[in-house]
Structure 1
Amino acid sequence: MAAPMVAVTVSQYLLQVVSMMMVGHIGKLSFSAVAIATSFAEVTGFSVLLGMAGALETLCGQTYGAEEFRKLGNYTCCAIITLMLVCVPISMVWIFMDRILLLFGQDPQISDAARIYCIFLIPALFGYAVLQSLVRYLQTQSMMFPMVLSSIAVLCLHMPVCWILVFRLGLGHVGAALAIGISYWFNVIGLGLYVKYSSACEKTQIVFSTNALLSIKEFFQLAIPSGLMFCLNTTTLHYFIPYGIGAAASTRVSNELGAGNPKTARKAGSVAMVVGIAEAVVMNTALFFSGHVLGYAYSNEKEVVDYVAQMVPFLCLSVIADSLVGVLSGIARGGGFQQVGAYVNLGAYYLVGVPIALVLGFSVHLRAKGLWIGILTGSIVQAIVLAVVTAFTDWQKEATKARERVTKKSIKGCNGV
């Protein structure tokens, strides 16, 4: 399950990476603006939606394990509605992001170009909200093939579409943003058609109903801590590899807990950790030996290429931390203890990582290296604490809680009928 989930998550994120790579060959201003806008959009938008959608890994995963198939459609419909509403305030922040950047002393030209990029990225935000809901719906039922096929096909389509918009039509960084939106919505349409007409989804059809609206409160109770647990983890493309492994772990853990099999759930978590560590070793080796040419993917400027090479050792350390955090977070989502993960994330980054980053980056004048060391420290602290929490988890207790959650919801549903 991990391999196809890695293909799905990486393919979806590569849409933004490909767009940034193409913009990087236009000029320094556009590249700087898109780099800042992408980071801003990730932290304030895409990672928020991705994190909140993780609530479905608990709700849909455990109900599927308990064979309460009807609820999967209700929860997914609830998630689509909720995440689309969340996109509205995020869009407003993006529209005025230049003022936020100027407040922190950013260059006016870069700030304005970044704002324009984010404005044309708003359609992609709404498409991403629907897409992540559909992905979790299929993921928790172990329907991997349609997601892999759709994601890879859209990525292959995105490259020529982005090239045409950026270079052929001369839209520059605006064309890159539009290409991302087009690609996300193509992915939504592809998965939507599969869910609508596939016989495999008959028992769990997504239908708008009052039950879906009544589930919003329950969804938010898990979505908010799930979102907090994920924010600021997405620092590199690599993170989506262990995130895919974690997503597979989440599905197996949630399914087994819903079915009342705590020992199998614990074993699934252990296997995921082994796979995550092995992935970190392979990725670190590849990064270490390709550091001197990695920068050319984003820019032809020698200054950029050389600086990327200097940052590779820090990136290798981040790979280790990201691999552990990605897998452990997936286990937490599957077990339904997102609140613990949220507290760990907030403490690790805002009480440890960010202060260290500010001191090293600005007071000690290490600049980007100092900022990276601070965030890396937060990741390491988060990984250690999550590992301890997972090691001391009472899986029998979590299985009982999962069954109680599903049973309680079933009784309410019956009473409502």
Structure 2
Amino acid sequence: MESQDELHQPILPPSPTETEAYIVDGRLEEVLSDTQLPWLKRLTCATWIELKLLFRLAAPAILVYLINNFMSSATRAFAGHLGNLELAAANLGNSGVQLFAYGLMLGMGSAVETLCGQAYGAEKYEMLGIYMQRAIIVLTLTGIPLTVVYVFCKQILLLLGESTTLASAAEVFVYGMIPQIYAYAVNFPIQKFLQAQSIVAPSTYISAATLVLHMLLSWLVVYKLGWGLIGASLVLSLSWWIIVGAQLLYIVTSSTFKNTWTGLSLQAFSGLWAFVKLSAASAVMLCLEIWYFQVLVLITGLLKDPELSLDAISVCLSVAGLLLQIGIGFNAAASVRVSNELGAGNPKSVAFSVIIVNSVSFMIAVIEAVIVLALRHVISYAFTSGETVANAVSDLCPFLAITLVLNGIQPVLSGVAVGCGWQAFVAYVNVGCYYGVGVPLGCVLGFKFDLGVKGIWSGMIGGTMLQTLILLWITFRTDWHEEVNKARNRLEKWEDKKGPH
């Protein structure tokens, strides 16, 4: 019979199981190492933890990249309503000049992504602010030669064979984007600083609010004040600086960063040359990828009757460019997850995260490809009303679908490479696969075998596929215990470069 004391004991809720505790705390390494759990339960629990961490990073990052992409597209649209010459000038200035600066700056910014991510995982929090400041210094200095390129863009475009009228109009547009160079120099290190700490939602809110303001300012400046092309590009530069200012204000005023942001420091000026070398490798890796499909457009322009082919491939690459933002979002998430877990010394978590992020991104890419194939006969009408172009786009959609599938894997593998600090190695792989195999193969198929744009694109796909297979082979043969040790040694080396206190 129960005692009186036992009868009056409060009824407590059942304590959470070990599995539930793992999920709540996100202790991925402990789950993967817990041999007491059944294999299937361990896999389910680990997958759930990783998916929560992954989508918390990837979803806001995808939105940020989409918004930034749309902001640039909106600027070109405003310019297009001024006339055909203005539209051509804005497209040339954006694709021919601005994209060069964007790729270079974003690539160099991925160096701080490696260091900040691994430092955060290793709980060396004070170093994140130092790395961010060091990256801003290096990228700002890089902006100086880029400014020279912008200033002499007319002469460069004339050398490339553009007409004097178009080059002069593009020059006006490009001059208005010079302040944007330095916004990139500050924005990308800030972005990587936040991503390394899995803080990405604020950037999404800031970018979304800036997009609304950008549309209003563009309408006012271009149409009401009549500033034309220079007004459109100046507003775009201003919008990027608004994003930068809002993010800086958030970092400086929020208590969230009390450990990772301790104010301006002279330490940021030490070890700059080593940082430049890592940044240069990162820039080469990313730029070779960004420029690859620009080369496809240039080669297509050398065909006998390029007009229809260029129209069709421009539509296809516009779709690919929009959907690539999803892959770039997963690229950022993969980089953060890998660098954080390497810094924390969790080899099993790194390996598991690589598998999950590649699987999720691949499945989404397959869905994109299926939708594109299903809409192949109507997809071009979002860009043009011509039936001839629609038929040409329909013929190219199978190539677009393959490209979308590869874009679901390749950017993620590049993100893993950034998280590990493999930028220099991947740069060599990109040179060999893209420009040693893809471009020559495309030229042979397109011109020698007279397959036209289909042959050129087939060759380019071959280069991308070879690069993807090499990165897959390297990634899944990696000894993650060894990578943890390399990350530890890298952080110790970079801590030695702190400089005077």
Superimposed CA distance per residue, residues 238-293 of structure 1 (whole angstroms, 9 cap, x where no aligned partner): 22211110111111110110111111011111111011101212222333344555
Normalised to the residue count of structure 2, the TM-score between the two structures is 0.76
Deviation of the 1:230 alpha carbon: 0.8
The answer on 1:8 being equivalent to 2:93 is no
Structure 1 residue 103: deviation in Å?
A: 2.6
After superposition, residues 90-169 of structure 1 pair within 5 angstroms as 90-169=146-225
Partner of residue 303, structure 2: none
Secondary structure of 1:72's match?
helix
Structure-2 change in CA distance of 1:22 and 1:312 (3 Å) = farther
Which amino acid in the other structure matches residue 380 of structure 1? Answer: M
Q: Residue type matched to 1:3 in 2?
A: A
Mapped partners of 2:399, 2:174: distance in 1: 29
**Structure-2 residue corresponding to 1:389:** 474
Distance in 2 between residues matched to 1:197 and 1:107, nearest whole Å? 50
5+ residue gaps, structure 1: none
One-letter code aligned to 1:221: K
Mapping of residues 51-70 of structure 1, within 5 Å: 51-70=107-126
Q: 2:334 is matched with which residue?
A: 249
For 1:60, the aligned partner's letter is: C
- Conserved in 1, the CA contact under 8 Å of 2:121 and 2:342? yes
SS in 2 for 1:54: helix
Superposed displacement of residue 190, structure 1: 0.9
Match of 1:83 among 139, 149, 155: 139
> How far apart are 1:401 and its partner, in Å?
0.7
Question: How far does residue 59 in structure 1 lie from its aligned partner after superposition?
Answer: 0.4
Q: Which residue of 1 aligns with 2:464?
A: 379
Instruction: Please identify, of 147-156 and 57-66, the stretch whose mean Cα deviation from structure 2 is larger.
Output: 147-156
The answer as to whether partners of 2:64 and 2:204 remain within 8 angstroms in 1 is: yes
3-state SS of the aligned residue for 1:143? Answer: coil
> What is the SS of the residue equivalent to 1:203?
coil
The answer to whether the Cα contact below 8 Å between 2:271 and 2:497 also exists between their aligned partners in 1 is no
Q: What residue ranges of structure 2 are gaps of 5+ in the alignment?
A: 1-56, 294-320
Aligned to 1:227: 283
Q: Which of residues 89, 103, 128 in structure 2 aligns to 1:33?
A: 89
Structure scoring higher RCO (CA < 8 A, sep ≥ 6) equals: 1
Map residues 145-294 of structure 1 onto 2, 5 A cutoff: 145-205=201-261, 207-234=263-290, 236-292=321-377, 294=379
Comparing 21-30 and 214-223, the one that deviates more: 21-30
Deviates more, 1:237-246 or 1:158-167: 158-167
Contact 1:276/1:324, CA 8 A, preserved across alignment:
yes
How far apart are the structure 2 equivalents of 1:174 and 1:371?
36
2:53 — aligned with what?
Answer: none
TM-score, length of structure 1 as denominator length: 0.91
Query: Matches of 2:423 and 2:364 in 1, distance apart?
Result: 24
Over residues 84-116 of structure 1, what are the superposed CA-to-partner deviations in whole Å (9 max), with x where a residue is unaligned?
A: 111111121122223333333233322222232
Q: Count matched residues.
A: 416
- Letter of the 2:207 counterpart: S
**1:345-360 correspondence runs (5 A):** 345-359=430-444
Inter-partner Cα distance in structure 2 for 1:231 and 1:387 = 20
Which moved further from structure 2: 31-40 or 76-85? 31-40
Counterpart CA distance in 1 for 2:155 and 2:429 is: 31
Instruction: Give the distance between the partners of 2:368 and 2:439, measured in 1 at CA.
Output: 26
Instruction: Report what 2:487 is aligned to.
Output: 402
1:325 is aligned to 410
Q: CA 1:300–1:16 in structure 2 vs 1: closer, same or farther (change >3 Å)? A: farther
Distance 1:21 1:367 in 2: 30
Alignment correspondent of 2:399: 314
Q: CA deviation at 1:314?
A: 3.0
- Contact 1:25/1:299, CA 8 A, preserved across alignment: no
What residue identity is the alignment partner of 1:319? L
How far, CA to CA, are the matches of 1:163 and 1:306 in structure 2? 35
Change (3 A) 1:269 1:86: same
Q: 1:123 Cα shift?
A: 1.3
Partner SS, residue 341 of structure 2: helix
Which residue pairs with 2:130 in the alignment? Answer: 74
Aligned AA for 2:198? S
Q: Identify the range of structure 1 (75-84 vs 95-104) with the bigger mean alpha-carbon deviation.
A: 95-104
Aligned counterparts of 2:157 and 2:250: Cα–Cα separation in 1? 41
1:95/1:160 CA distance change after superposition, 3 Å:
same
CA spacing shift, 1:281–1:69, aligned 2, 3 Å: same
Q: 1:277 to 1:54 in 2, by over 3 A?
A: same
Q: Which moved more, 1:386-395 or 1:235-244?
A: 235-244
Partners of 1:305 and 1:32 in 2: CA distance: 21
Deviation at 1:350, TM superposition (A): 1.9
Q: Distance between the aligned counterparts of 1:35 and 1:370, measured in 2?
A: 26
Contact 2:288 2:431 in 1 (8 A): no
